[in-house]
Copies of this chain bind each other. A is one copy, B any other.
Amino acid sequence: MTYCVAITMDAGLIFCSDSRTNAGVDQVSTYSKMFHYKVSGEREFVVLSAGNLATTQAVVSQIKRDIRDDASTSLKNLPDISEAASYLGEISRQEQEKHSGGGGPNAGASFEASFILGGQVEGDKPRLAMVYPQGNHITTSKDTPYLQIGESKYGKPILDRILSRTTSLEDASRCALVSMDSTMRSNLTVGPPIELAVYATDSFNLTRFRFDDDDEYLRELKKAWDQYLIEAFDRLPPLQWSDAQSPDESA
C-alpha cells in the first residue's frame, strides 16, 4: 500500500509520500514514490505514485526518456499542469493496456496506478492534479486544497481541519507529516522513510526532506502530537449524565 498527499496553497505546494511497497505481507520493499523533474526553462514538476510498481516505474521512466530524447511531447514543452497530467495519464493507460489485454495468464490481474502531478510552469500558478488509473485527472479546489492517493482515509480528518488556501508552507508541511503519522499507525503497509518536498510559489526550486524510521524530528513530532491530543481530549466538555434518557423498555 501507499500513502501520498499533496497540498496547494497561495504560498506554494507540499508533497509527502511514504516509501513502503508490498506484494503480500511477506514481500515488503522500500521504494521512493516521489519523483522530481526540473527541466529547461522555468518549469518544475513533482510526481507521486501509488499502485502497481511495474506500472509506476514504467511511467516514471518514460517521462524521463521523453525529456532526455527531446520528444515532441514531454514535460519540457507541455504548456501547463493540466496538459502534463493528460500526457502522464495517457502513458499510464498505455502501460496498463500492454499487460492487461486478452484472456491470457494476466486476465483479471490489476496493473492500475494513480499519480499526483504538481508543479509550476512559468507564467502559470503552481498547480496539482491527480491522475486516475483510467488516465483522466482532477485538480484541487478552493475548498479542498489537497489531493491524496493510496490509503487516504486515516489521514484525512486532520487535513480537513487544518488546511486552507492561506496555510503557510511550514504549517502544511507539519500537517502532511501528522496525516502521514496517523496513517502509518493504522496501516502497516505504509511506512518510512517519509519524503517531503516543499515548493514555494515562483521559486522554481524544490526543497526536499527525508525522514528515516529513527529520524529525531519525526519522533519528536509524533510524541508531541500524541501528548497534545490527549491534553486536548482531556479538556473536552464532559458528557452530562443527567442528559441520559430513561432506560428503554426491555425486549
Contact = CB atoms under 8 A, between A and B. Distances in A.
Interface of A: 35-39, 63-64, 67-68, 75, 153-154, 156-158, 160-162, 170-171, 173-175, 177-178, 182, 185-186, 198, 205-210, 217, 220-221, 224-226, 228-233, 235-241, 243-245, 247-248, 250-251
Contacts of A220: 237
With most chain B CB atoms within 10 A of its CB, the pick from A157, A171, A207 is: A157
Contact of A39 (B38, B185, B251): B251
B221 A237 contact: yes
Copies of the chain in the assembly: 2
Interface of A is mostly: helix
B237 A224 contact: yes
A244 B217 CA distance: 12
User: Top 5 closest A-B pairs, CB basis?
Assistant: A38-B250, A228-B232, A153-B153, A37-B251, A157-B182
Contact of A230 (B156, B161, B208): B161
Contacts of A68: 251
A68 B230 CA distance: 45
Contacts of A251: 35-39, 63-64, 67-68, 75
A173 B229 CA distance: 16
Contacts of A208: 244-245, 247-248
A217 B243 contact: yes
